[in-house]
Amino acid sequence: TRTFDRKAVALQRTGQLGTYASSLGQEAVGVGIGSAMRVEDVLVPSYREYGAQLLRGVQMRELLQYWGGDERGSDFAETRHDFPICVPVASHFPHAVGVAFALKTRGDAAALAIAGDGATSKGDFYEAINAAGLWHLPVVFVINNNQGAISVPRTHQTAAETLAQKAIAAGIEGIQVDGNDVVAVRDAVGVALEKARDGEGPSLIEAITYRLSDHTTADDASRYRGREELGVAWARDPVARLQRYLHQHQHWDEQREQALVADCRQRIQSAVDRYLA
C-alpha cells in the first residue's frame, strides 16, 4: 500500500496523474478492514482505503485510472460487490444503509462504510446511523479519525469528547480502536462484522490515526500544522510499528523485507505501464 502510494504521488508530481489523496500513515486502517471482510461483504469506501481495496481485488491500474480522471476500460463496478470510490464527504453512508437493507433480506453478509472524521459533522452521517440503528441493519461504520478534515482539526468540528460516542444517539455500539495498530483494527472490525452478519445490528468504530501526508497533492499541510506535531505522529508510523513487532517476534527479517519491496515495485510498475498505455 505504501509503495503504491509513493509511486502515485510521484506520477502526480510529474504530470501523469490527477490530484491524488495519499494514505500515508493510515495504512493500518485500510489493511485491517480489508483483511476482516468476506468476499460476500460490501465495501463502501471514501478515497484513502487503498489497502482495503487492493485486498478486495481492485486492481492498481483501476485506482490510477480513477485518480487520472479516466475510468474507461475499468470493470470496477462489474466484477466486484464493492462500490467505486466515493468522493463527496459522507454522502456514501446512506448508500451503505441501502446496501445493508438489501443484504438483510438476502442473508449472511454485511456492508462496511468508511470515511474521515470530518464526515461525522455532516447530516448524511447522522441520517445513516439513525436509520441503521432503527432498522437493525448489518452494517459497520468506520471513522478514520486522522485528526483533521483537511485543515480543520477535530476539536474545531465537534464538542463531542469522542467520535465513537456519537453512536449512542443512534442506539448502536460505538468503540475506539488504535488505528495505527493493524492487528487491533483487524480484530475490532472482524468482531463488528461478525456481529452484523449474525443479525445483532450495526456498529461504529472510530480508528484513531494520523494523516502524515498533505490532504491531497493539491494541499500544503505545513500551512496549518507544525513540524513538532508531525514528528510526534511519525513516531507512531503503523508500518514501522508492524515491522518492529514482527522482527521482535522473529516472524520477519531484512531478507524477506527486501524481497517484498522488490515484488511490490515490480507489480506496481506493471500497473503503471498499463495505466500509461
- Give the cell for residue 20: 491524488
Q: Tally Cβ neighbours within 10 Å of residue 184.
A: 15
Residues 154, 148: contact at Cβ < 8 Å?
A: yes
95 noted as active-site residue: no
Length of the chain: 277
φ and ψ at residue 25, rounded to 5 degrees: 90, -10
**Residue-wise over 134-143: b if at least 16 C-beta within 10 A, else e?**
eebbbbbbbb
> In 3-state terms, what secondary structure has residue 239?
helix
Rounded to whole angstroms, what are the CA distances from 110 to 9, 133, 197?
A: 33, 14, 6
Letter for the amino acid at 140? V
Cα 162–Cα 167–Cα 171 angle in degrees, nearest 5: 145
66 noted as active-site residue: no
Q: Which of 13, 38, 156, 224 is catalytic?
A: 224
Q: Which of 48, 186, 215, 275 is catalytic?
A: 215
φ and ψ at residue 174, rounded to 5 degrees: -130, 130
> In 3-state terms, what secondary structure has residue 106?
helix
Burial classification of residue 35, based on how many CB atoms lie within 10 Å of its CB (0-12 exposed, 13-18 middle, 19 or more buried): middle
Report the side by side order of strands in the sheet with 139-145. Answer: 42-44, 111-116, 139-145, 203-208, 173-178
Residue 52 C-beta-side C-alpha neighbours within 13 Å: 34
Catalytic residues: 211, 215, 224
